Amino acid sequence: MVDTSVIINLNATGQAGGIIRSLNVELRASTVVRDELIVDRIHGRDDSALAERLVSDGLLQFVELNDESETVFESLVSGAAEATLDDGEAATLALAACSQSLVVIDERKAIRVAGERFPSLELLATADLLQSELLLGTLGRDGVTAAVFSALTTARMGVLERHHGWIVDLLGDRIVKCRSLPASLRGLPV
């Protein structure tokens, strides 16, 4: 089960279809996530249309909330701000929790809430997908580097701390152009 940011990040690589095929998976996302996808005004990327292309290629499926997942969804969007999520993240976690699916989500707060509420869920981030040996075997190091750089610079992909070393090694000097990464990681004065 993937969140909105994951679809946006994969689209921003310019190689979403090839990446998903390389991983030999069909992604699933909630219809709430589908409704969050819009046109990126800055880069002119239409994430909604790109996602629909993934659907027509059999690489992405949008799933409706059922009664059980709707109840979990409501519990994730209602309450104190520190314990609630936006609709897309909540729908992603609700569907995953009710189906015991693997979750790919990038937002730190959502990862924290998932760990607290659903400790048995396996959580990955977009960077985990992009770091896959399957992908490296298909795209090669230069292809993976280009995909990651594009996701970082055009979608401002968030990268969890556990991936910082990999990102530094992968991007080398190009890292300074990746403004979504912490200044200290980019070698800039803090």
- DSSP string covering 3-62: -HHHHHHHHHTT-HHHHHHHHT--EEEEHHHHHH--EETTTTEEHHHHHHHHHHTTSEEE
Question: Rounded to an integer, what distance in angstroms lies between the CA atom of residue 31 and that of residue 171?
Answer: 34
Q: Which tens digit of pLDDT belongs to each residue from 76-130?
A: 999 999 889 999 999 999 999 999 999 999 999 999 999 999 999 999 999 999 9
**Percent above pLDDT 90 for the chain:** 88
Mean of per-residue pLDDT scores for the chain? 94
Strand 39-40 versus strand 45-46 pairing type: antiparallel
Residue-level pLDDT at 26: 93
- Range 52-66 average pLDDT: 97
- Range 131-146 average pLDDT: 96
Please choose, from the candidates 106, 135, 109, the residue with its C-alpha nearest in 3D space to the C-alpha of residue 123. 106
